[in-house]
Structure 1
Amino acid sequence: MDTHFTGYLFTQPWWLLLLLALIPLALLKNRAGSRSSIIFSSLSLLGSLGTRQRDIAGRISLAFLSLFIIFSAISLARPQKQNSHTERKASGIDIIISMDVSFSMEIADFRFDGRTVQRDLVSREVVKQFIKQRPNDRIGLIPFAGQPYQESPITLEHDWLLGKIDKVRPNRELSQGTAIGSALSASAIRLDKRQDTKSRIIILLTDGSNNSGKLSPIQAAEAAKTLGIKVYTVAIGTEGGRLNGQRNAAQEFDTETLEQIAKITDGEYYRAKSTNDLVKAFSSIDALEKTERTQKVVATYQDFHHYFTFAAALSLLGHLVILCFHKSAGPE
C-alpha cells in the first residue's frame, strides 16, 4: 500500500468547494459556437486566417484560469502534514543486570533453537528479550568474572544497550573467577546514584559460587538492603554440566548463598536448569516488577499552503498575460 500521503490533511476543507467553479469553465471551454452547414465561396475566409491562433490563446488563458482556481482552493483549504512522535517517560524502575561472564559460562549444556549451546548464549538471548519487554525502564549492565566491569550505564537507550549485550562474552583476558560480592556492590553503587527512582533492583545471573573479590556476597546483600535495593538471583546451569577436563561441576553451585541474598533484600531466587526455566525466571521478575507505560504523543504540523499560493499567483499571471496579448491582437 502506498503511504506517501499518510498524515496529510486540510484544516479548512470547505474552501475546496471553490473547485465547483470549474464546471461552468469546462462548459464554456467546450462551447464552440454555431457553424453554417452550407459551404460557399466567400472572400471573408481571408479575414478569419488569424482566428485559430486567437482561439488557441483563449484556450490557454482558460486553462491558466482553471489552474488558478484549483491552486487557490487548495491553498485556502490549508494543506498540512502531521508529524507525530512519542515521548517516553521513565517508569521510575531502575534495573542493573549483572551477568556472569566467567570461563564456566562457556559450558554447553542448554538447548536453544534445537541445538546444544553455551550458557552465555542462552543468557544473552533471554536478557535481551527481557529488556525489549520493558521499554520504559532505565536498565544498565555490569558483567563480572573475577571482578565487575561496567559495560553500560543505566539508560533508556535500549537499542544501544542490546548491542552491548551482544558483545558480553566470556573472555580469557578477564580476571578469572566469580566475584559475586563485588558485582553486587558495584551494581548497588551504580543504582544508589539515581535518587529519582521509586524502585531499584539488581538481577544477578551466575553459574557459580563466590571465589573472588574482597567483599562477601552476604555483606554486599546487606548493604543493598540498606539502600532499598532488591536483588533477584538466578542460578543457571545443569548439575551435570562441566568444562573439558573438569570432573565435578556440581560443586560450583552455591544455591544457599544465592537464596540468602534474595531473602535479605526481599527479592526472589530462581534455579534455571534449562532454557525454559531461565525464560520463566525472567518472566516472573517482569511480572513482579510492574512498570508504568506512560507515553505522550506530540504532534507537529507543517504547512504547505504557500506552495499552492505561489502556483496560483503564477497561474493568474499567465492568464492575465495571455488575455492582454489576446486583446491586443484583436481589431482596434
Structure 2
Amino acid sequence: MLLLAIIPVVLLRNRAGTQNSIVFSSLSILGTLGSKPRNLAGAFASSFLILTITAAAIALARPQLSNTYTERKASGIDIVVAMDVSTSMEIDDFIINGRRVDRTTAARLVVRNFIQQRPNDRIGLIPFAGQPYQESPITLEHDWLLSKLDSVRPNQELSQGTAIGSAIAASAVRLDKREDSKSRIIILITDGSNNSGRMSPITAAELAKELGIRVYTVAIGTKEGRLPNFKQRFPSQEFDTKTLEQIAEITDAQYYRAKSTEDLQSTFSTIDQLEKTEVKRNVITEKKDLHFYFIVAAISFLLIYIVLTTFTVPPSPN
C-alpha cells in the first residue's frame, strides 16, 4: 500500500514548478540579486523520494532470509552389498532398453536404484572375485557410494575365482562393528559357485547367523549364459543355487533367482519392502530478518532528499 505513494511523485516530477520572483522598488539591487528558476520541480530529488518510499515499504514487509535444514538420522538398517565381479560377470545375457549388457552392468543399475530409494540406510559395498575387497565402507554418504559403485567391474588384475564364503565373512565383520543397528543384512549377488577363499559359504552363513545378520542371496544370469571352456574348465560349477538357498535359509533370509533385468529389479524391490522401518526427520528452519538494512537505506535516501531540497547553490546574477 505504501508503494502507491510513488504514483503521485512520478506524475509530478516532470511538471514545471512556480517561477521564483521578487518585488523590489529600485534597480540598484539587481547587481546582487539573482533568480533561481525551478523549471522541473524536484526532478532530481524526487528520485531519492521514490527510493525512500520503496525502501520503507520493503522494510515494513519484513523481508527474511530463510534456511531450512533437515536433520537426517539413520534408519537403523545397515546393509552391505557383496557383488561378484569375477570373469563370468562379463557375460552379456541381460537386456536393458533393447541393448544387451553384461551381468555387472545390469547389477550396477539395479543396485544404484536400490541405494537411491533408501537414503536413510547406511550401505556399504564389497566387490569380490577370488577374494573380497572393500570398495566403500558402510556410510550414509550415498553420492560418494554411488560413485564407487560406478567403478565396480570385473578386473583381470584381481585374484580370479568366486569366494562367496569370504565375501560373506568380510561383509559380516563390517556389519558387526555397527552396534547401534536395529537390523543388519547382506545382499549377495553372484553368478557362480564358491571355488576360492579360505571359508566355506555355509560356515560363513552360520557365523553371520550368530551375529544376527541376514544374508539375501541373488543368483544372477541365464542358463544359456556360459563361459567358454578356455575361461572356465568346469562350466557346471558356474551355478550353485543349492548353496545359495542354504545360505539364505540358515540366516532367515531369502534366495532369489534373477534370469533377466526384470527379475533382478523385482528381487531388489522385494528386499526393499521386506527391510523397512519408519524414520523421523527433524526439519530446522533458521530465519534472519533483513528489514534493518532497508530501514537504514530509507533513512539515507530521505536525508539525501532533504539535503537536495533544502540547501541550494548561491543564486547567480541575471
Q: Name the TM-score, length of structure 1 as normaliser.
A: 0.82
Q: Which residue of 1 aligns with 2:52?
A: 68
Cα 1:120–1:329 change in 2 (3 A) is same
Give the Cα–Cα distance (whole angstroms) in 1 for the partners of residues 170 and 192 of structure 2.
18
Cα 1:76–1:115 change in 2 (3 A) is closer
Q: Which residue of 2 aligns with 1:264?
A: 250
Give the Cα–Cα distance (whole angstroms) in 2 for the partners of residues 167 and 62 of structure 1.
65
Give the Cα–Cα distance (whole angstroms) in 2 for the partners of residues 327 and 194 of structure 1.
80
Superposed CA deviations along residues 18-56 of structure 1, whole A, max 9, x for unmatched, are 435446656765776899xxxxxxx9xx9x98453x353
Contact 2:75 2:279 in 1 (8 A): yes
Give the residue type in structure 2 aligned to 1:319: Y
Q: Which residue of 2 aligns with 1:88?
A: 72
Superposed CA deviations along residues 42-95 of structure 1, whole A, max 9, x for unmatched, are x9xx9x98453x353634334423322221232233211322233322111100
Cα 1:117–1:34 change in 2 (3 A) is closer
115, 118, 122: which one aligns with 1:138: 122
242, 254, 267: which one aligns with 1:281: 267
Contact 1:136 1:292 in 2 (8 A): no
Q: Quick check: 1:97 aligned with 2:84? A: no
Give the residue type in structure 1 aligned to 2:293: Y
Q: Mind listing any 5+ residue stretches in structure 1 that lack a counterpart?
A: 1-16, 36-42
> How far 1:111 moved relative to its partner?
1.8
Give the Cα–Cα distance (whole angstroms) in 2 for the partners of residues 141 and 34 of structure 1.
84
Q: Which residue of 1 aligns with 2:62?
A: 78
Superposed CA deviations along residues 127-156 of structure 1, whole A, max 9, x for unmatched, are 111111111111000111111101000111
* Secondary structure, aligned partner of 1:221: helix
> How far 1:278 moved relative to its partner?
1.1
Q: Which residue of 1 aligns with 2:307?
A: 321
Contact 2:35 2:315 in 1 (8 A): no
Give the residue type in structure 2 aligned to 1:295: R
Cα 1:25–1:173 change in 2 (3 A) is closer
> How far 1:263 moved relative to its partner?
0.6
Give the residue type in structure 1 aligned to 2:59: S
Give the residue type in structure 1 aligned to 2:40: I
Cα 1:172–1:26 change in 2 (3 A) is closer
215, 219, 223: which one aligns with 1:239: 223
Q: Name the TM-score, length of structure 2 as normaliser.
A: 0.86
Q: Mind listing any 5+ residue stretches in structure 2 that lack a counterpart?
A: 20-26
Worse-matched range after superposition: 304-313 or 85-94: 304-313
Worse-matched range after superposition: 76-85 or 235-244: 76-85
More helix as a share of residues: 1
100, 106, 111: which one aligns with 1:116: 100
Give the Cα–Cα distance (whole angstroms) in 2 for the partners of residues 206 and 85 of structure 1.
40
Give the Cα–Cα distance (whole angstroms) in 2 for the partners of residues 121 and 22 of structure 1.
65
> How far 1:247 moved relative to its partner?
7.4
Give the Cα–Cα distance (whole angstroms) in 2 for the partners of residues 274 and 234 of structure 1.
12
Superposed CA deviations along residues 166-216 of structure 1, whole A, max 9, x for unmatched, are 111111111111111111011011001011111110000011111111111
Give the Cα–Cα distance (whole angstroms) in 2 for the partners of residues 288 and 145 of structure 1.
28
Give the Cα–Cα distance (whole angstroms) in 2 for the partners of residues 97 and 301 of structure 1.
41
* Secondary structure, aligned partner of 1:143: strand
Q: Quick check: 1:195 aligned with 2:179? A: yes
**C-alpha RMSD of matched pairs (Å):** 2.8
Give the Cα–Cα distance (whole angstroms) in 2 for the partners of residues 241 and 28 of structure 1.
86
Give the Cα–Cα distance (whole angstroms) in 1 for the partners of residues 243 and 52 of structure 2.
82
Q: Quick check: 1:157 aligned with 2:156? A: no
Q: Quick check: 1:254 aligned with 2:260? A: no
Q: Which residue of 1 aligns with 2:296?
A: 310
Aligned length: 305
Contact 1:204 1:234 in 2 (8 A): yes
Q: Which residue of 2 aligns with 1:3?
A: none
* Secondary structure, aligned partner of 2:253: coil
Give the Cα–Cα distance (whole angstroms) in 2 for the partners of residues 303 and 148 of structure 1.
55
* Secondary structure, aligned partner of 1:301: strand
* Secondary structure, aligned partner of 2:170: helix
Worse-matched range after superposition: 123-132 or 312-321: 312-321
> How far 1:240 moved relative to its partner?
2.2
Contact 2:214 2:253 in 1 (8 A): yes
Give the residue type in structure 1 aligned to 2:239: F
